[in-house]
Amino acid sequence: MAIKEQPKSPQFRIIANILLAVSGLFLILNLFLPGLFASGPAGVPYSLFIHQVQEGEVSRVSVGQNQITYQLKTENAEPGQVFATTPIFDLELPKLLEQKGVEFAATPPPKNTWFTTLLSWVIPPLIFIGIWQFFLARGAGGGGPQGVLSIGKSKAKVYVEGESAKITFADVAGVEEAKTELVEIVDFLKTPGRFTQIGARIPKGVLLVGPPGTGKTLLAKAVAGEAGVPFFSISGSEFVELFVGVGSSRVRDLFEQAKKQAPCIIFIDELDAIGKSRSSNGFYGGNDEREQTLNQLLTEMDGFAAGDATVIVLAATNRPEILDPALLRPGRFDRQVLVDRPDLSDREAILKIHAQKVKLGDDVNLKAIATRTPGFAGADLANLVNEAALLAARNLRQSVAQEDFAEAIERVVAGLEKKSRVMNETEKKIVAYHEVGHAMVGVLTTGNGRVEKISIIPRGMAALGYTLQLPTEDRFLLNEAELRGQIATLLGGRSAEEIVFNSITTGASNDLQRATDLAERMVTAYGMSKVLGPLAYQQGQQAMFLGNGATNPRRAVSEETSKAIDSEVKEIVETAHEQALEILRQNRDLLEAIATQLLETEVIEGEKLHNLLSQVKPITNS
Ligand code: ADP
Ligand code: MG
Ligand code: ZN
C-alpha cells in the first residue's frame, strides 16, 4: 500500500498567477491614471483666470470639483479653445462671474467610463484574492504541493491497493468482534449487488470506538486491503483549518472524489475533532466553522442513497461520548464497532505478530510477557517488542532474550532507569522502608498482584523507589475487600515511615492521592458504603477510555450527604491505615531485615523476594 498525494491540476496555478499579475498591473495603472489621462486643456494660473474674468475676456465657465474650464471670447482666442485652471476655494467667484455677465455652470462629476468602472470593481477583489492566497500558501504548512486556488481541496491521502505490502486482517490480532463486523463490510464492498438485489440497504457509516493504540486505523486499512478498494484517509483535525468555510468544502470535495472512485472507503480518523456535540460548544471561536463542517458531513452522508456508488465511511474515535447525536442516527454512523484493549490471549497474539519482525532467542516466552502486560494496547505491545530489540542490540546480543523483554516492560511501565540520580543516605533509608512497607502490606491483603520486585533505584520522574506488583491474571471486577486491600497497600509505605522514623515525609503524597481516590470511588461510584447505600453520587458515567484516574464532579447532593460521603471516605482510608500499621508492627523484625538487605543490594526480586515475603505473619488479634 502506498500513500499518494491527490493529483493537483497545474492549470489552476497558471490561471491564478496570471490573474495575480494582471491585478498588479491594474493597480499600478490606477495609481498613475490621473497623470496619464489628465492631459486635456492647457493649464492656466488661477490668478490669470481671475484677471481675464475681470477684464471681461471670458465667455463661458464650467466649474468642476477639481478643475475649472473656460472659453474666451472669440476676439481673444481661437474659437473652441478651452482653458483650464485649478480652482481655489473662492466663494466670491460666482458673484464676480455674474457681475461680468459670464455664462457659468457646474460640471457634473465625471461620468464613469467602462474602464474606470471595471477598475473600481475588479481590482479590489483581485488584490484580496492575491493576499488570501499568499496567506493560504503559508497556512497550508509547506504550501508547496497545495496549489493556489485549491483551498477547498481535500487533503485526503489515498492508499492505492496493490502496490507494496497491503494490510489485511491477518495483521490485526485479537479484536475478534470488530473483525467479524468488518468482514461484513468487506463483503458489501466486494459484492454490493448481492445485498442491493434483495433490497438490503448497505450501511454507510461504521464508527470504530476504542482507546488510543488499539488498532482502529490498522483495522480500517485492513478493510481496504481485504476488499481491494481505494482508501481515502483524512484526520478530523485536518478538516478544521484557518479559514472559515474550508472545512465544509473539504468534506464536499472528499466525497466528490470518493464517489468517482467507488467502490471505496473514506476513513475519517479522530472524528471527534469535527463531530463534537453541537450543544456542548464552549465559548471559543472556531465553533461555527466546526459546525459547518459537521453539517456538511451530515449532508454528504445523507446525500448518497442506495443505488448510488458504494462508498463506505469508516470513522474512528476514542471519545464516543462527546460525539454529536446527529452523527449516530440511522443512515449515518449507525454501526458502532468496539475496539477494546486486548486481553491476555489477544496480547499474546499481538506480540506474536510483532515478534516476527525481530530475531527471538530460544528462551523467549511470549505468553509470560503477555501475562505481565495487562492494560497494554496493541501500540504499546508493538513498542515493547521494539524496545526489547533495542536493548538486545545495546547489549550486543544476537537475538532478543526474555530478559530484554523483562527490562522493556519495566521501562514502559515505570519510565527509564536513572542510575545517575543520587539520594543521600537518609533518603535512601526512608525510601527502603517505605517500599518494603508497601510490599509487606501487599502480601497480606487481597486485591494486589504478586510483588515481583522492590527497588530503590530511582526511575522516571516521580518515583524514588518502587514496588512492582504484577497481576497474575486479568481482573475486570474487584470486590470491596480487594479495594480495601489496595488502599491499605498504598498506605503501607507511609505506615512504615511512621513506625520506623516516627515522622512523615513528602514522599507518600502520590500514594495518599490514589488511596483517597479509590476510597471516594468506592463510596460515590460503586455503592460500597452501608451508610450511603447503592447510589451513584458521581455525575454521569466514568469516562470510559480516559484512564481510570479521572473523578467526575459530584452530582448535586445535600450538605448532609456531602458530609456523609466525606466521613465515609475518611473511615475507609483510616481503617486501611490502621490495618497497614498493624501488619507492620507485628512484623517489625522482618521489616528491618528486608529493608536492611534492600539498602545493601538496592534491588530485591524473584525467588529471594518471595522467600522473604512469605515470612510475613498475618495479624493476630491479641
Ligand atoms: P489507533 O488508531 O486505534 O490509535 P493504530 O491502528 O494506529 O491505533 O495502532 C498503532 C499500531 O499499533 C499499529 O500500527 C500496529 O502496529 C499496532 N497495533 C495496534 N493494535 C494492534 C492489533 N490488534 N494487532 C496488531 N497490531 C496492533
Ligand atoms: Mg489511529
Ligand atoms: Zn509509596
Query: What are the residue boundaries of the structural domains of the chain, listed by start?
Result: 2-36+113-150, 42-106, 157-338, 344-414, 425-613
With contact defined as beta carbons under 8 Å apart, do 401 and 439 qualify? no
Catalytic residue among 181, 435, 497, 520: 435
DSSP string across 431-490: HHHHHHHHHHHHHHSSS--EEEEEE-S-BSSS-SSEEEEE-SS------HHHHHHHHHHH
* pLDDT average, residue stretch 221-246: 76
Ligand 1 atom 5, closest CA: 215
Confidence class of residue 622 from pLDDT cuts 50, 70 and 90?
low
For the chain, what is the mean pLDDT? 77
* pLDDT average, residue stretch 306-320: 78
**For domain 157-338, is the CATH number 3.40.190.10?**
no
Q: Is the pLDDT of residue 38 over 60?
A: no
pTM for this entry: 0.54
Mutation probe of ligand 1 site: the residue of 169, 176, 218 with most atoms within 8 A of C-beta: 218
Residues 6+ apart with CB under 8 A from 258: 232, 264, 266, 311
Q: If you measure from the C-alpha of residue 232 to the centroid of ligand 2, how many angstroms do you get, rounded to a whole number?
A: 14
Residue 211, ligand 1, Cβ within 6 A:
no
Ligand 1 atom 14, closest CA: 218
CATH for 344-414 is 1.10.8.60
Is there a shared CATH topology between the 42-106 domain and the 344-414 domain? Answer: no
Q: Give residues whose Cβ lies within 5 Å of ion ligand 3.
A: 493, 511
Confidence class of residue 546 from pLDDT cuts 50, 70 and 90?
very low
Task: Express each pLDDT in 90-103 by its tens digit.
Answer: 777 888 888 888 88
Lowest model confidence (mean pLDDT) among 91-100, 390-399, 593-602 = 91-100
Q: If you measure from the C-alpha of residue 438 to the centroid of ligand 3, how many angstroms do you get, rounded to a whole number?
A: 7
**For domain 425-613, is the CATH number 1.20.58.760?**
yes
DSSP H or E run through 61 = strand 58-63
pLDDT value for 245: 66
* pLDDT average, residue stretch 197-226: 85
Q: Cell numbers at residue 68, please?
A: 475649472
Q: If you measure from the C-alpha of residue 212 to the centroid of ligand 2, how many angstroms do you get, rounded to a whole number?
A: 7
Task: Express each pLDDT in 343-367 by its tens digit.
Answer: 778 889 999 999 999 999 889 999 8
380 vs 580: which has the higher pLDDT: 580
Q: Is the pLDDT of residue 52 over 70?
A: yes
What CA–CA distance (Å, rounded) separates 119 from 98? 40
Nearest CA to 40 out of 64, 75, 73, 74 is that of 64
| Amino acid occupying residue 592 | E
Ligand 1 atom 12, closest CA: 379
* pLDDT average, residue stretch 436-455: 86
CATH for 42-106 is 3.30.720.210
The atom of ligand 1 lying closest to the CA of 383 is 12
The atom of ligand 1 lying closest to the CA of 221 is 6
What CA–CA distance (Å, rounded) separates 512 from 287? 40
Lowest model confidence (mean pLDDT) among 80-84, 112-116, 193-197, 602-606 = 112-116
Confirm whether 582 is a catalytic residue: no
pLDDT value for 279: 56
Q: If you measure from the C-alpha of residue 595 to the centroid of ligand 3, how many angstroms do you get, rounded to a whole number?
A: 14
256 vs 611: which has the higher pLDDT: 611
Nearest CA to 233 out of 4, 491, 400 is that of 4
